[in-house]
Amino acid sequence: MAGSVNPAVQKYLEEVARLKAEAAERAAAKEAKAKASEGALPPGIHNVQGKLSLVLPEPPPEPAAEDCCGGGCVPCIFDTYQDDLADYRGEVARLQTLWSERQQPPAAVQTVAEGGSSAYPVTDVEDLIRAAVVKSAASARQRLSPSRFTPFRLVNVEQINHDTIRWVCESVIDKAGDQDADNKMEIVPLQIREGQHIFIRALVEGKYVTRPFTPLASHARSHQITFMIKIYPNHPYTQTLAARAGEDTVLLRGPISGGPQRDLREARRIVFLTAGSGIMPAYQYLVELLRRPIDGALSSITLVYSARTVEDIWLRAELGDLAKEAPLFGCHFVLTKGGQYHGGFGRLNAARVAQFLAKAGTPQPDPHVPISTSTLVRRGHDTLVLICGPPAFNLDIKHHVSRFGVPESDIFVFQ
């Protein structure tokens, strides 16, 4: 029939309309809550003109179904929400107990969202205020949360090469707070450590899509986070990120830990085997390891970075600077196309992986003894191998490292 709408298209349009309506409703509720809390006291027990008032914290926002990326993250956004909810209930119980110990009327209890402040005279005011370990107002302005998305301003977008862009994001909340002359609250530095990643959420073809990225660095003084993002052809999500411009608002969630659960400095030798964007978590650890005094048994750190061409090497200048500053750091680039450059040409096959492991000082297996399960036992060589790249790369490289004789306990693969 002429003019009829395809049922699939109609369903898609209805889904888009529903998502937009829900997003608008959440934005309106957030704005209303922000207006209601303007001028309100932060959670805790406060002395208002010689009288006391108890203000309870707001409960953590419950994530929506589309906030979960479905990627099996540990912890999931719903896991961190439950943790935040438990912390919230514990803090409420603590403040209420402290208040009841001073025999205050329960009517004095209120939430931030209700605004205002109920005040009652009480003796020993200063003692009560000192006893109340109130959460700092700065914690309510934490720039990042693993359980909810926080708006950041995209302050700079730079094209690095033919398929890579660099994003610099700045906290919207902190920038506004810094300009408030009447606001004396402490600014909390960005807490992003090596091995942690952050989720970037984007509206792609009418639906929210979330993917993890390892930040290049966090600048506590300027409240900024830097990302390197590879743009793939015919990939709606990365194409959407590529279309974002400076001063756009982006949604970030994290940080989420995903690194090895051990102190890397306890190893005698560390070898990073990386490919493509897998350099990012390796770079986090390299900066942490090399820009602090080396103590203990750690004697060498080796990076083997596989890329297509020289132009595809991320952070080439930064890695060169690290190599100049730290004699124990060896940096090798292996190009699969485009010639040889400080490391070799071709793919990281078993022979080449064995070559780099041996060069790093890893004891080699006896060539007269066939590789078998009995030979893959711990030989006390204390070489820690960390692998990060595309899934197929990770699988192959782990197999090569295991065949060389490095025990499973000394191999870590970033997911």
Q: Are residues 280 and 397 in the same domain?
A: yes
Annotated binding residues for FAD: 211-212, 230
The predicted pLDDT at position 200 comes to 92
CATH number (domain holding residue 366): 3.40.50.80
How many domains would you assign to the chain?
Answer: 4
Question: Are residues 53 and 93 part of one domain?
Answer: yes
Residue 291 lies in a domain: yes
Average pLDDT over residues 131-158: 64
| Residue 373 sits in the same domain as residue 239 | no
DSSP 40: P
The DSSP H or E segment spanning 387 is strand 383-388
58: confidence class by pLDDT, cuts 50, 70, 90:
confident
pLDDT at 112: 39
What is the pLDDT at residue 90? 80
Q: Is residue 160 part of a domain?
A: yes
Closest CA to 69 of 180, 193, 207: 207
Q: What's the pLDDT score for residue 221? A: 54
114/178 same-domain check: no
- Banded pLDDT at 387 (limits 50, 70, 90): very high
Task: Check residue 275 and give its pLDDT.
Answer: 94
Q: Which of 56-60, 148-152, 264-268, 319-323 has the lowest mean pLDDT?
A: 56-60
Q: Which residues are annotated as a binding site?
A: 211-212, 230
pLDDT of residue 257: 84
**Domain coverage including residue 331:** 264-413
Model confidence at 177, in pLDDT bands (50, 70, 90)? very low
Q: Is the pTM of this model over 0.85?
A: no
The strands making up 329-335's β-sheet, listed across from edge to edge, are: 343-345, 329-335, 300-307, 269-275, 383-388, 411-413
Q: Taking Cα atoms as reference points, which of 224, 217, 413, 415 lies closest to residue 318? A: 217
- For the chain, the average pLDDT equals 75
Assess whether 398 and 355 both reside in one domain: yes
Mark which of 226, 257, 288 sits at the end of a domain: 257
Per-residue pLDDT tens over the stretch 185-197: 333 456 678 888 8
Round to the nearest angstrom and report the end-to-end CA distance of the chain. Answer: 51
Instruction: Between 170 and 213, name the one with better pLDDT.
Output: 213
Q: Please check whether residue 93 lies inside any domain of the structure.
A: yes
Q: Are residues 278 and 396 in the same domain?
A: yes
- Mean pLDDT comparison of 74-88, 148-162, 286-300, 366-380, highest-scoring range: 148-162
Span 205-226, average pLDDT:
77
Here the tokens at position 221 are 């003084």
